[in-house]
Amino acid sequence: MKQHRQRIIVHVDMDAFYASVEQLDNPEYRGRPVVVGADPEGGKGRGVVAAASYEARKYGIHSALPISTAYRRCPDAVFVRPHFRRYEELSKKVMNILGEFSPAVEQISIDEAFLDCTGTERLHGSGQTLAAGIERRIKEGTGLTASIGIASNKSVAKIASELGKPNGLTICPQGKEQEFLAGLPLKYLWGAGPKTREKLESLGFHTIGQVASAVQLQLVQPFGKYGIKLHELANGIDDRPVHTGARRKSISEEITFRQDVDEDGLIEQVLFEIADRLTRHMRQKWFAGRTVTLKIRLSGFETHTRSRSLPDHVNDLATVRSTAVQLYREFKRQGRRVRLIGIGVSNLRFHNASQPDLFQDEDHEASGRRSADRVLDMMKDRYGEKVTRGSFLPVTGTSTGSSANGFSRK
CB atoms within 10 A of CB 250: 13
Enumerate residues 6+ apart whose C-beta is below 8 A from 326.
308
How many angstroms from the chain centroid is the CA of residue 253?
Answer: 12
Q: Cα–Cα–Cα angle for 83, 87, 88, nearest 5°?
A: 115
Expressed in angstroms, the distance from the first to the final Cα of the chain is 55
Residue 216's CB is within 10 A of a number of other CB atoms, namely 12
Whether residue 112 lies in the annotated active site: yes
* d(C-alpha 410, C-alpha 401), whole Å: 18
Query: By the 8 A CB rule, do 133 and 101 touch?
Result: yes
- How many whole angstroms separate alpha carbon 176 and alpha carbon 109? 28
Selected catalytic residue, list 112, 177, 253, 273? 112
The angle, 0 to 180 degrees and rounded to 10, between the axes of the packed helices 226-234 and 216-223 is: 140
Give how far the C-alpha of residue 110 lies from the chain's centroid of Cα atoms, to the nearest Å: 7
- Please give the distance of CA 29 from its chain centroid, rounded to a whole number: 25
The set of catalytic residues is 112
